[in-house]
Amino acid sequence: MIAGSRSSLRGQRGVGIVEILVAVLVLSIGLLGLAGLQMRTLRNSESALERGVAVFETHAIVDAMRADRNNAIASNYNIALSAAAPTGSTFRETALAAWRANLITSLGAGATGSVSCNGALCTVVVQWDDSRVNGGSTTYNVSTQVQL
């Protein structure tokens, strides 16, 4: 009986190491999945932050337009997405130039904004490149419509 016990122990030799290696493999796959999930969460959080900044920036230009309501109603604040930022020393020109500069600083080099007023009803659009978060070339827009 003692000889049979020894032969069964020899058959079990190395099984504990295999079990440990399988456990380490399963654990490493799980940790890699968790790291990927964390990266995706960080990218989505950054995208949400950028959308919040864009909304904040739309309110910033609207506040400047409300401070200069007559010019805003006269469509003097209107600027297209592709138009260059105005240069000059009037309140309107400095407000629009500072707004565009803030967009680039906050949302990246491809960020821009437009204002379109029809009387007291104005639409402000902020556009930026969100490709780092979503992959590919993704242009994201935030549009806000306000009554001055």
Strands (E), 53-111: none
The 10 Å Cβ neighbour count of residue 77 is 25
Question: Looking at residue 9, what is its pLDDT?
Answer: 58
At residue 143, the pLDDT reads 93
Task: Record the pTM.
Answer: 0.73
Beta strands in 7-147 (DSSP E): 112-118, 121-129, 139-147
> In whole angstroms, how far apart are CA 28 and each of 18, 31, 32, 33, 38?
15, 5, 6, 9, 15
pLDDT of residue 11: 61
For the chain, which residues score pLDDT lower than 50? 1
Q: What is the pLDDT of residue 46?
A: 84
Nearest of 97, 59, 51 to residue 77 by alpha carbon: 97
Cβ neighbours of 60 (radius 10 Å) = 17
C-alpha dist (Å) from residue 108 to 17, 51, 58, 80 = 52, 13, 16, 18
Q: Let me know: does 113 contact 86? Beta carbons within 8 Å.
A: no
pLDDT attached to residue 140: 86
pLDDT of res. 135 = 63
Query: For residue 70, what pLDDT is reported?
Result: 92
Residue 36: half-sphere exposure toward Cβ, Cα within 13 Å: 6
Q: What is the pLDDT of residue 91?
A: 93
- % of the chain at pLDDT higher than 70: 86
